Structure 1
Amino acid sequence: MRNPRHNLKSPEQELRIFRVRALLAAVIVFALTGLLMGRLAYLQVVQHEVFTTRSEKNRVRVEPLPPTRGLIYDRNGVLLAENRPTYNLTLVRERVEDLDATLTRLVEILELPEEEAAAFRVRSRQRQRPFQPALLMSDLDEGQIARLAVNRHLLPGVEVEAQLLRYYPDAEVMAHALGYVGRINAEELGRLDPGRYAGTHFIGKSGVERFYEEALHGQAGLRKVETNARGRVLRELGRNDPVPGKDLTLTLDKEMQALAYELLDGRRGSIVAIAPRTGEILAMVSAPGFDSNQFVTGIDVASYRGLQEDLDLPLYNRAIRGHYPPGSTIKPFLALAGLAEGVITPGETIYDPGYFQLPNDSRRYRNWLRWGHGRVDLERSIAVSNNTYYYNLAHELGIDRLHTNMTAFGFGTRVGHDVFGESAALMPSRDWKRERYNQPWYPGETLSVGIGQGYWQVTPLQLATATAVLANRGDWVRPRLARRLGEEEVPVALPDTPEDIRLENEAWWDRVFSGMEKVISGNEGTARRTGVGLEYRMGGKSGTAQVFSLGQDQKYNAEELAERLRDHALFMAFAPLEDPQIAVAVIVENAGGGSTHAAHLARAMTDAWLLEEEEPDVEELREAMEEDDGSVAGN
């Protein structure tokens, strides 16, 4: 048997084991406590600045403050472009956990139709600078704002911002001249100064809004705000105020602009009026127009498609981009070229049998009056718009001298100082034709150019500018739309102004002006009915531009042609003759004769500018044009 003493516990042994375990536990506890204290010391002492900065970044946010866009006024202080308060929906993608879910929720809350919802999603994914708000929707209504406020807790990163939105009170009349602002796209975002445009969602897209974008926009500011854990603003900690854009005062006269648009009466065409001495553009209308306010907030797909597919091309700025044969409106300029080059003299006459023939050529280039005007000198050639005189003159000048002299008046060049998107149109030459068609220049083409047909193309602004230079007796003043930028006057004399035109004999101007006056006031003048009751001296020139060429023995008959194949009606004029205050160019597409369908419009513009009376009665003008239609021959 085993000894029972060996089964008893040993207190000494148990105590020794306990002490070892307790010491080991104490060592572990102290080691862990030391490690924890060391980590706390490292975080709170060594890394203090780092975590303080991180904490501030989570609590304090820097937000951009977009500047207020400058206003636009007409020459008399009438507001043409203003800023109206509105509410915009923005989204900061970096603060949104699930973008698709958020967008779906927003579409439901805003009750957007399918087409708008698709555009809404596209805008949310457009290129944007990090942590900058992307504009999802503009001009929210009260119902949308209320529904967004109720669901605000479900939409982290989404904000409703109160901002000023561009508005054009006379959108349709001013659309082409003013242009419009629109949302900044990805391409524009890449080239814009990120500091200057921080928080800005809109930029000038066309017209003076585009040309004077830098001045109108201003400089963005910044503000520091304290936010809660959800990113909502609690209070403002500091700010650097934005610099507002400069106000722009234009040379345009709102009443003249509205009159020009009314005179065109929905027909396709353009009217441009310029003050010759200063180059101030008083009116620059392209018809039909469009509602430019639609483009500010983003035009819907159906409306934009309707504008694009409209055969009348309302988006097309005819005043600066429309290319038209100038027709007989260029005859005064050719007469001056002939005098300057010594090809003709003021009293020299030619006999017009009703046509002109080149040497050794059987083709007859016909006058508009088929039996001819008989003996014609310079003044009568302008008054009756004799084609044969100018066929002969163009042939004597040749295309080289003709091109040089017409370019001096601005044809074939961009004439405006601050007219965005202007076309140079076309003043043809030998070199141009060789480069374009790889063909030589033919004498018959010179004859066509001599009556403003063939390859020659002008814009209404070019024709008005050349008329202003003519009225100034060769003194060039480049046309401009801005009169004052902020408090700074836009100078009349601009550094890129073309050289003045100087003639050997100043009396030659008078002879040409006399012929132009006879167009309106003479017994044979093509626009003599326009001069009835005229209270001042006025010089002008009608023009009829062919849309297609007639054959050798074909006769033009407007009634047999489709409306869009009929001739364009043109007229250029300035007044008063002795001290010109206004120069006007009118082009009405497919209207017929310029002396009938354009001259009355030019007269109405000069009356409105020069006479202290109520604006012209448009209904009376329409009746006068109907009476003249077919009763006054000429082009």
Structure 2
Amino acid sequence: MMKKLLGLLFIVAIFTSGCSKSPNPQERFSEYIALWNEQKFDKMYDYLTSDAKKSITKEEFTNRYQKIYVDLQITDPKITFKQSKDDNQAKGEKADYTFSTNMDSIAGEIKFTQKANLKKEERDKKKNWYVDWNTTYIFPELKEGDKIGLSTTSPKRGGIFDRSGKGLAVNGEVYEVGVVPGKLADQKDAVIQQLSSLLKLTPDQINKALGASWVKPDLFVPLKKVSMDDKKRIEQLVALEPVQMKKVEARIYPYKDAAAHLIGYVGSITADELEKLKGKGYTSTDVIGKRGLEQVFDEQLKGKNGAKITIKKKDGSENVIAEKVVEDGKDLSLTIDSNLQVNMFKELKGEAGAASAMNPKTGETLALVSSPSFDPNQANLGFSADEWKALQEDKQQPLMTRFKQNYAPGSVLKPITASIGLTNGAITPEQSLEIEGLKWQKDPSWGSYYVTRVHKANPVNLEKALVLSDNIYFAQTALNIGKDAFAQGLKGFNFEEELVYPFPLQTSTIGSLDKDISLADSGYGQGQIQMNIVHLMAAYTPLMNDGNMIRPILLLDEQKSQVQKQQAMTSENAKMISSMLRKVVSDKHGTAHAAEMANYPLSGKTGTAEIKQKQGEKGIENGWFIAYDTKSLNLMVAMVVENVLDRGGSKVSVKKVKNIFSRVK
């Protein structure tokens, strides 16, 4: 019985042995390649021969690959190995296969082929194939003891220029202030105190810089960069004998706060920014745009870093693995008129608000201003903690870019409401409405809510309603148009649609028109209507272009006179409304009569947008005025000034816009 049992076990063993699959070196190497493509370096190590493992630990192997791939910005690695049906190497103890590598790096494409050696080894009483790895598997030229080198060349950043070629953001020089620690001697504490005051750094910040691991007694330690225009501070720094100053390259903003929000500034890239821009050729030492057009067009302005990856041999020689030539950034030319930009900014005189100028025939943006502002040169060189805190806590919010923000337009919307009403037949130019008193409501269902107006007039036609800016007339007009037709009419002027523009703007919105009160208020630019100042100017261009709405442009090489909305209003209505807006300025009763100038006929519309929680309470008011040169039709200016309550409302903006036109006429 026992003999039969042993015989049966022997047969089973032979059968099992015959059915078990012998290890195949091709399949084994294919598994290794698959792990490599997935960058699972720790698992790749398990495939190494015993001899290979003696030369490098698992931690060293994994960290080396990871560091190389991160430092060289290796992306999209493709390691390929083609199996052959005629391969007979499985019968022996050794095998070799050729694999190909193709990958992108910071210095461009890296391609090579290399031969891999495999050995059959027994582990845990099982035989299998293992990769006899060495450093040439990383790069064929990389021998044991060699080092991988990476050098980068920063491109020259492109400049930003106005329409006449004047620099709005240029490459220049500043002073880098620092000290040589060994020269401080017993003056150290006194010098640090003086530097702390002059550079607006804390003593701890200075001591931290002086105590960095790389610092040596005879090495210059940079502390802060100072603008060459800061002459008084430079004189004081020069007087401190141990202090040294060197000229270094830096981004310069000649027009300072006047164009800060539009142009923006640059600064050192952060770890978060580097992660977001992964794969785009950025490095940890790069300077990038932080806001404004510097940020929007950063890739164009920055250019592309030059990079070279080398293998540094023990004898001092080098092998170049990949090299990418530096590409300087491209200049950006704007339609902006820098003189007009400065004049408009100065005219705001620190008021909270926004202003813009445009050629309404071509759509060219001639100025784009946000006030109050900040000095982008100082932002570039670095605000002190106190300076940054003061900017953030300033109630006028100098860091806010107001020309991209939406505001309630108030009465500057009325010409658009008029156009929609004329198109829909809700009003006619001749039709007059009987309006008594200074307040009105549709019916008693409105409760205590009334639409109010400033001037008494009865009856009121379209021209008088525009000249006197009659809220009641336009509230009734919106109700006659109806919510659906009114919303559709506004969309015909690009509401609820992103305005294609190089600088990102908030999309102008309509809000709710479901209730009669909301619809009535929206007719004269209140309710939930919101629009930005660039859109407002674009919405007025049909008045000068036979009803076509022109797309605003900011880049000098963009096509001019592009039609954004074909026949936003009819040619006939455009001429009619424009003639009425001339009377808003020329008529002695017109709300913008203060802007009337001899031999310089302006047309325009005022607006006072009220922002409050409920009727009867005191809120805040923003004053608008938009005007254009009726004679030459080459300049339109719009302005909104915040907080004009008890200061004359829109008259604040009227006076300022008049001053702007008077300087350019």
Query: Once the 2 structures are TM-superposed, how far is the Cα of residue 524 of structure 1 from its aligned partner?
Result: 2.0
Q: 1:295 to 1:191 in 2, by over 3 A?
A: same
Task: Pick the structure with more strand per residue.
Answer: 2
Matching of residue 511 in structure 1 with residue 594 in structure 2: no
Structure 2 CA distance for partners of 1:507 and 1:347, relative to 1, 3 Å: same
CA-to-aligned-CA distance 1:573-622 (integer Å, 9 cap, x gap): 22225x5212221111112445421112222333444x2xxxxxxxxxxx
- Of residues 596, 604, 623, the one that matches 1:531 is 596
Equivalent residues of 1:428, 1:456 under 8 A apart: yes
- Which string of whole-angstrom CA distances, capped at 9 and with x for unpartnered residues, describes residues 175-228 of structure 1? 101111122111221232557334742111221111111211111113689999
The answer as to whether partners of 2:267 and 2:288 remain within 8 angstroms in 1 is: yes
Of residues 262, 265, 272 in structure 2, which corresponds to 1:187?
Answer: 272
Any gaps of 5 or more consecutive residues in structure 2? 1-133, 178-191, 214-220, 227-233
Q: Following superposition of structure 1 onto structure 2, how do residues 323-338 of structure 1 map, counting pairs within 5 Å?
A: 323-338=406-421
Q: Deviations over 1:58-106 (max 9, x none)?
A: 5x843100100001111111111111246889xxxxxxxxxxxxxxxxx
Higher RCO (C-alpha under 8 Å, 6+ residues apart): 1
Query: Given that residues 86 and 138 in structure 1 are in contact (C-alpha distance below 8 angstroms), is that contact kept between their aligned partners in structure 2?
Result: no
Aligned to 2:483: 399
Separation in 1 of the partners of 2:310 and 2:323?
Answer: 9
Question: Is contact 1:400–1:429 with CA below 8 Å preserved after alignment?
Answer: no
Shift of 1:414: 3.5
Contact 1:467 1:574 in 2 (8 A): no
1:601 paired residue among 656, 659, 662: 656
Q: Which has the higher helix share?
A: 1
Of the three residues 640, 646, 650, the one matched with 1:587 is 640
Whether the aligned pair in 1 keeps the contact of 2:542 and 2:574 (CA below 8 Å) is no
Residue in structure 1 matched with residue 567 of structure 2 by the alignment: 501
TM-score by length of 1: 0.68
What is the CA–CA distance in structure 2 between the aligned matches of 1:428 and 1:568, rounded to whole Å?
19
Kept in 2: contact 1:195–1:220 (CA 8 A): no
Q: 1:568 maps to which residue?
A: 622
Residue aligning to 1:211: 296
Aligned to 1:383: 467
- How much does 1:443 deviate? 0.7
Q: Which residue of 2 aligns with 1:409?
A: 493
Distance of 2:633 and 2:660 partners within structure 1:
14
Equivalent-residue separation in structure 2 for 1:531 and 1:502 (angstroms): 28
Residue 382 of structure 2 aligns with which residue?
298
Residue of structure 2 in register with 1:37 after alignment: none
The residue that corresponds to 1:259 in the other structure is 343
Partners of 1:120 and 1:65 lie apart in 2 by: 26
Matched residue SS, 1:482:
coil
- Give distance in 1, aligned partners of 2:172 and 2:309: 26
The CA distance in 1 between the partners of 2:555 and 2:426, in whole Å, is 41
Partner in structure 1 of residue 168 of structure 2: 80
- 2:17 corresponds in structure 1 to none
CA 1:491–1:163 in 2, change beyond 3 Å: closer, same or farther? farther
The answer to whether 1:521 aligns with 2:578 is no
Matches within 5 A, 1:455-470: 455-470=528-543
Q: Find 2:560's aligned residue among 492, 504, 509.
A: 492
Report the alpha carbon displacement of residue 412 of structure 1 after superposing the two structures with TM: 4.1
Contact 2:162 2:336 in 1 (8 A): yes
- For residues 454 and 148 of structure 1, the distance between their equivalents in structure 2, rounded to whole angstroms, comes to 61
Residues 284, 301 of structure 1: alpha-carbon distance in 2 compared, 3 angstrom cutoff:
same
1:344 corresponds to which letter in structure 2?
Answer: I
Assess if the C-alpha contact under 8 Å between 2:639 and 2:653 holds in 1: yes
Residues in 2 aligned to 1:221 and 1:364: alpha-carbon distance in whole angstroms:
67
1:546 is aligned to 610
Which of 137, 147, 150 is the matching residue for 1:62? Answer: 150
Kindly indicate whether the alpha-carbon contact (under 8 Å) linking 2:261 and 2:373 is maintained by their aligned counterparts in 1. yes
* Of 475, 481, 487, the match for 2:554: 481
Question: In structure 1, what is the equivalent of residue 260 of structure 2?
Answer: 175
Q: Normalising to structure 2: TM-score of the pair?
A: 0.65
Distance 1:249 1:498 in 2: 22
Instruction: Work out whether 1:116 is the aligned partner of 2:182.
Output: no
Separation of aligned partners in 2, 1:183 and 1:414? 31
Deviations 1:352-391 (Å, cap 9, x if unpaired)?
A: 2123321453656343236x21111111110111122111
- Aligned residues: CA RMSD: 4.1
> How big is each residue's C-alpha offset from its partner over 1:243-282, in whole Å with a ceiling of 9 and x where there is no partner?
1111111111111111111111111111111111222111
Alpha-carbon distance change, 212 to 192 in structure 1, aligned in 2, over 3 angstroms? same
3-state SS of 1:351 partner: coil
What are the residue-to-residue correspondences of 1:94-243 with 2, within 5 Å? Answer: 113-114=202-203, 116=205, 139=225, 164-192=249-277, 196-198=281-283, 200-222=285-307, 241-243=325-327
